[in-house]
Structure 1
Amino acid sequence: MYDIIVIGAGHAGIEAAMAACRMHKKVALVTLDIQMAGSMPCNPSVGGPAKGIVVREIDALGGLMPIVADQTALQFKMLNTTKGPGVWSLRVQSDKEEYKKQMASILQNTKGLTVIEDACTNLLIENQRVTGVHLKTHGNVLARAVILTTGTYMTSTILRGHTATVSGPEDQPTIQSLSAGLQEHGVRLFRLKTGTPPRILRDSIDFSKAEKQPGTPEFFSFSETTKPEDVLSFDRQEICHLIYTTPKTHEIIREHLQDSAMYSGLVKGVGPRYCPSIEDKLVRFADKERHQLFLEPESKSLETIYLQGFSTSMPIDVQEQMVHSLPGLENAKIVKYAYAIEYDAIDPLQMKPSMENKVIENLFTAGQVNGTSGYEEAAGQGLMAGINAALKIDGKEPFVLRRDEAYIGVMIDDLCTKGTKEPYRLLTSRAEYRLLLRHDNADQRLLEKGYQLGVVSKERYEQFQKKMETIQKTKELLQEVHIKPTESINAYLSSLGFDPLQHGCSALELLKRPQVTIKGLQSWIEQNIDASVARQIEIEVKYAGYIEKAKRDARHLQAMDQKKLPEGLDYLHMDNLRLEARQKLDQIRPSTLGQASRISGINPSDIAILSLCVKPHKK
């Protein structure tokens, strides 16, 4: 008998199991092979636009992905630095083999966590409440809650050309019986598709025909606990390369379009809009003369290069022609051929904001089984599912992040309010308060919450408090530093295109000007300031007006989300509601007035009627 059983040791399963253990729950993690924990069957990378901020949020809530991603990174790169801080995002090129090894080791040595290598064939459900799982070898194992994180392994099929093979990613077995068991108890499933590009032997590539893509020289990390000495120095980091498709590549793809599993009629599921196959790119963007591709290393222990942007489900012989048409890959040797994979996912509209299923009590779901794509989205969901499963067992209120508090909150709200018909991917454009949800302030937004929940240690919390004290004292120092209109300061301002100072002002006041930095003012400040502290203060000072406006807007959202709707409302027979509103509200069953307002098709007059049903707010 366990408190919680987690099915699957992918990125969602790992975070779910570890969060529950930190909250002192007895946890069993069921996986086919523990050495595949944290596997990266597609991109050998972590982070990127919006996703990198999610990893920072996972760190602020005590998660594991940020720490291991830092320690096993081959390259660090901060993206979008020429734009505003609301879209800055860290991405690392990962050593996928080292990442798996570290994850497996941590899981096997975590107190309170039992790893069971077995296949889950079904859930044990009584009166629409999950009571455990049935394992192929170990039989029935009981638990008070179950977290399902099966990723793309549920009734999955590998598709290549005109061939369909029943299999999970990386030749792992698929789970066939879970889908039928879920559907039998009223869970809605739908088919999704994703894919992966070919892997190329490194020594068979002529890199002189590609553009070098180095990382960022400055120190950045996903975890606040990571120190510069914990990661590869810039001069030891790997270099990625950029190439482009050629007219010959496009000609080959168009000639063989009907040989692709996607266009032959073999694929039934919906593919990812924001990470399409190369043949889909040619069809959707027919006017583009070329598409960029990145050559990325997978691991120091592997001789393979990942061909980013060249996902395809073409037959093997056509893939050979396609790859050999690319610059530098004329003589390339393909080590692993590309494929598409189709799998069952659960309709996220049947999920509560706490990640618990609405149909089966005490069943939580996280990751790609909820219709998302990406390791980072999966890890964020897994973390929240682990926390909320532990809270449910303890009889406590669920932990739900608002849209103005975290990208994780945006993602979960999108899923359980709007649903998805294609693999969901986080984007900065999905977050209306993205200036509040930045890379630099994830710990300020979430770390105290993590400490109160018990997923962040006291030591980590005390370090955070010291950091905040340092930032405050530094701001006070900058306010006290009086800069006079001298020749040297005016020369500095002139170099940035500003008029000379006519009167003296504080260093903090001067920082409001674009391009003026603490580093640039260092000779007048006469005190060394940590780079990360400097970045934090510069953003707060330069964007103060915009940040305050975003906070005002967020307070309105917060007020709506505090107005809870009763669980048993009979929407279908509610007077004065439009028929469309009745149907959508009955399907989604929002937990708050704020969530109801974000449902597509619900208008202000519907919200006015619903407001009469709101529970009195407890102070």
Structure 2
Amino acid sequence: MFDVAIIGGGHAGLEAAWAAAQFDLKVAIVTMPGVSIASAPCNPAVGGVGKGQVVREIDALGGIMGKLADRSAIQYRTLNESKGYAVQSTRVQIDKEVYARNAEAEVAANENITVIREMVERVSKDQEQFLIKTTEGEYLSKKIVVTTGTFLAGKMHTGEEQSDGGRVDCLKADSLENIFVGVTALKTRFKTGTPARLKRDSIDFSKMVEQESDINAVNFHYGHELNERFIDQVSCHLTKTNEKTLGIIRENKERSPIFNGQIKGVGPRYCPSIEDKAYRYEEKDIHHVFVEPESHELDTFYPNGISTSLPREIQLDFIRTIEGLENAEIAVYGYAVEYDVVDTTCLDRTLQSKEMPGLYFAGQVNGTSGYEEAAGQGLIAGINAARSIIGADKFILDREDSYIGVMVEDLVSNKRDEPYRLFTARNENRLYVREDNTILRMKKYRQELGLFAEVDRYQDKFERSFNIIWSVAKNYTYKANPKNKEYFKDKGYGPLNSNITLAELSKRAQLNPVDVLTRELSENNMAFDPNVIRTVAISLKYEGYIDRALVENAKINRLSKKPINWEQLVASENISFECRQRITEIKPESFGQLQRIVGIRPATLAFVAGNIL
């Protein structure tokens, strides 16, 4: 008998198992034979816009993705670097072989986790326990987290070729509703895709723009040095499509499974295939292609930006029109995969099924895209499954201070009509919810878990150091005397016409606040963790904006957080029939969740706010 069984060993499954194991419970990962734990079947990269923030939140809550990403990173980039700290995000290209190998080693060393490499055929519930029937045997578990990715009734497409499988060279599982009887699948299946993998020796990198690894990009894991690198860094390269490339694709529309009716599933709007781009933007022929290595140990490169399910010969034709890829050879052809997803309106904010309590869902089976989104959900589901066993309260992150909180509430508040992708723009409080201040945002949530490990000791020290530096910055004053005026001139700080504090100096528009604060603390013989200095500096920079936003958000959040009784709402004749239908479907737990249900009328919100809350 296991306490928590995780079905699926991808990024969501690993994070769910790692989270549950922290509570000293007996955890199983039941995963398909021949598939490595935390493998990267699509682009081997971790982080990105909005996603980098999620990785840091996972890390601050005791998760493992950030640690694995750092230790397998072969290239670092800071995205949106020119747009300011609030929307900057870290992205690393990982060595997919090293990442999966390190994940396997971490799991093997965890005494609370057992890996069972068998295909799951059926899951049923009897009283307060679940029976997992596999091809090899049967297992009992008190709670289950489903993280099956794209394997449920997975079907792959490359032109007219169709085959069963959740990814290349892998089997498929049965359908969601056949394995988990009593759970509702979304009527619309989803689709994702991947480009061809190109052989290293067939690529002419001299014709492309080189993108070197950023030595200044900050590591994800709290326990690593700021800019520490664990394996050799490499460059990625940038090229682009052209009129000839898109011409070939448009000429073969009838052979595209996406457009000829062969694929019924809905694909991701924000990560479209090259066929989607060809017809969505008919006036545009130039699209960026990032040629990125998959591993030091492999000779394959991932041409990010040209995901396709066109026939093999057409893939080769259009790829060879791209500069630097004129002689490209394909190691693995691109394909699309259709798969079952759960109806996430049937989940609560812990990601537990309302239809089958004790069963949790996380990752692509919830209709999301991306390893980071999957891992964030896995963490939430794993923690809540574990806390349910020990009789602890639900663990829920608020959207006002967490991107994971934004994602979970978005997922359970509306039916998905396309794969979900997280962006900074989805967060109403993004000036505050930044990468640099993740420890400060997540510390209160980590404390809720009642655990005390190395991450907790680090966070305590981080918070103490933050408060000290903040106080110094606010109180250390530069008097407008001749000595300080000359000092400001020498340092390039600008004029000193009146007394100012170190905090005020850090906010000067022409200065880099991190550099200024680091230098001034050093000049006064004060040594602190560079991560903390960076957080203080950026927090000072945005202080005024954040304070104003917090005042406005506080007014909204007071109402948004108020619990509601959805059954009382649907019994009210003052609410329209259509709104009552939507409320019955979603079963919102708070006024904020009610607000975010698509189709809820302003009159309904006004009635609830004025008469029920």
State TM-score, norm by structure 1: 0.93
In the TM superposition, 1:212-251 aligns within 5 A as 212-227=210-225, 231-232=229-230, 236-251=232-247
Name the counterpart of 1:160: 158
Higher mean alpha-carbon deviation, 599-608 vs 171-180, is at: 599-608
Identify the residue that residue 402 of structure 1 maps to in structure 2: 398
Question: How many Å separate the matches in 1 of 2:73 and 2:181?
Answer: 40
**Would you say 1:204 and 2:199 are equivalent positions?**
no
Shift of the alpha carbon at 1:125?
Answer: 2.6
Question: Corresponding residue for 2:333?
Answer: 337
Residue 305 of structure 2, aligned match among 292, 309, 332? 309
Per mean C-alpha deviation after superposition, the further-off stretch among 532-541 and 590-599 is 532-541
Alpha-carbon distance in 2 for matches of 1:267, 1:181 = 23
Partner Cα separation in structure 1 for residue 181 and residue 321 of structure 2: 46
Q: Does 1:472 align with 2:470?
A: no
Query: Counterpart of 1:387 in structure 2: which amino acid?
Result: I
Q: Distance in 2 between matches of 1:330 and 1:174?
A: 35
1:570 to partner: Cα distance: 5.4
1:351·1:358 contact (CA, 8 Å) conserved in 2?
yes
Q: Distance in 2 between matches of 1:11 and 1:186?
A: 23
What's 2:388 paired with? 392
1:511 to 471, 483, 506: 506
Three-state SS of the structure 2 residue aligned to 1:369 is helix
In structure 1, the partner of 2:4 is 4
C-alpha separation in 1, matches of 2:499 and 2:610: 57
Does 1:18 find its partner at 2:14? no
Give the direction of change, closer, same or farther, for the CA distance of 1:196–1:578 in structure 2 (3 Å limit): same
Q: What whole-Å deviation, never above 9, does each CA across 1:536-591 have from its counterpart, x for those lacking one?
A: 22222221111112222332344234422346x15443221111210110000011
The amino acid that maps onto 2:100 is K
Structure 1 residues 342 and 220 mapped into 2: Cα distance closer, same or farther (>3 Å)?
same
Structure-1 residue corresponding to 2:497: 502
- In 2, Cα distance between equivalents of 1:184 and 1:508: 58
Report the Cα offset of residue 232 of structure 1. 3.9
- Residue of structure 1 in register with 2:600 after alignment: 602
The TM-score, its normalising length taken from structure 2, stands at: 0.94
SS of alignment partner, residue 162 of structure 2: strand
Contact 1:19–1:383 at 8 Å: present in 2 too? yes
Shift in Å, 1:490: 4.9
Call closer, same or farther: CA 1:358–1:612 in 2, change over 3 Å.
farther
Deviations 1:129-151 (A, max 9, x none): 76232111113x21111111000
Identical aligned residues as a percent: 38
Alpha-carbon distance change, 426 to 249 in structure 1, aligned in 2, over 3 angstroms: same
Helix, strand or coil at the partner of 1:283: helix
Q: Taking structure 1 as reference, are residues 213 and 354 closer, same or farther at Cα in structure 2, changes over 3 Å only?
A: same
Select between 424-433 and 590-599 the one with higher mean Cα deviation.
Answer: 590-599
Helix, strand or coil: the match of 2:106?
A: helix
State the distance in 2 between where 1:552 and 1:123 align: 48
1:447 and 2:443 aligned: yes
CA–CA distance in structure 1, aligned partners of residues 161 and 168 of structure 2: 16
Q: Which residue of 1 aligns with 2:131?
A: 132
Match of 1:349 in 2: 345
Give, in angstroms, the shift of residue 608 of structure 1.
Answer: 4.5
Task: Verify the 8 A CA contact 1:22 1:454 in the aligned structure 2.
Answer: no
Taking a change above 3 Å as real, the CA distance of residues 344 and 35 of structure 1, as seen in their structure-2 partners, is closer
Give the corresponding residue for 2:428: 432
Q: 1:596 Cα shift?
A: 1.1
Letter of the 1:559 counterpart: R
Q: Which residue of structure 2 lines up, in the alignment, with residue 533 of structure 1?
A: 532
CA 1:575 to 1:212, structure 2 compared with 1: closer, same or farther past 3 Å?
same
Give the SS at the match of 1:99.
Answer: helix
Given residue 503 of structure 1, which amino acid in structure 2 is its aligned partner? S
Check conservation: 1:593, 1:614, Cα contact below 8 A.
no
2:141 corresponds in structure 1 to: 143
Question: Residue 121 of structure 1 contacts residue 178 of structure 1 at CA under 8 Å; is this kept in 2?
Answer: no
Is 1:368 matched up with 2:367?
A: no
CA contact (8 A) 2:219 2:227 kept: no
SS in 1 for 2:93: strand
Alignment-mate amino acid for residue 555 of structure 2: H
After superposition, the Cα gap between the structure-2 partners of 1:489 and 1:434, relative to the gap in structure 1 and judged at 3 Å, is: same
Contact 1:28 1:115 in 2 (8 A): yes
Cα gap change, 1:88/1:331 in structure 2, threshold over 3 Å: closer, same or farther?
Answer: same
CA shift, 1:520, in A, is 4.2
Q: Which moved more, 1:329-338 or 1:524-533?
A: 524-533
Structure 1 184/541 Cα, relative in aligned 2: closer, same or farther at 3 Å?
closer
d(CA) in 2 for partners of 1:429 and 1:289? 27
Deviation at 1:405, TM superposition (A): 1.9
Cα distance in 1, alignment partners of residues 248 and 481 from structure 2: 66
In 2: Cα distance, 1:173 partner to 1:570 partner: 47
Count residues with an aligned counterpart.
Answer: 606
Q: Distance in 2 between matches of 1:207 and 1:575?
A: 67
Match in the other structure for 2:543: 544
Post-superposition shift, 1:420? 1.5
Alignment pair present for 1:358 and 2:371: no
Deviates more, 1:9-18 or 1:543-552: 543-552
Aligned 8 A contact 2:175 2:340 in 1: no
Other structure's SS at 1:446 match? helix
CA drift of 1:4 comes to 1.1
1:493-545 Cα offsets, whole Å, 9 max, x none, are: 8x57x5x2222322222222113235347369433655433322222222111
> Structure 1 residue 76 and structure 2 residue 76: aligned?
yes
Are residue 299 (structure 1) and residue 298 (structure 2) matched? no
Check the 8 A contact 1:68/1:102 in 2, yes or no.
yes
CA distance in 2, matches of 1:357, 1:423: 19
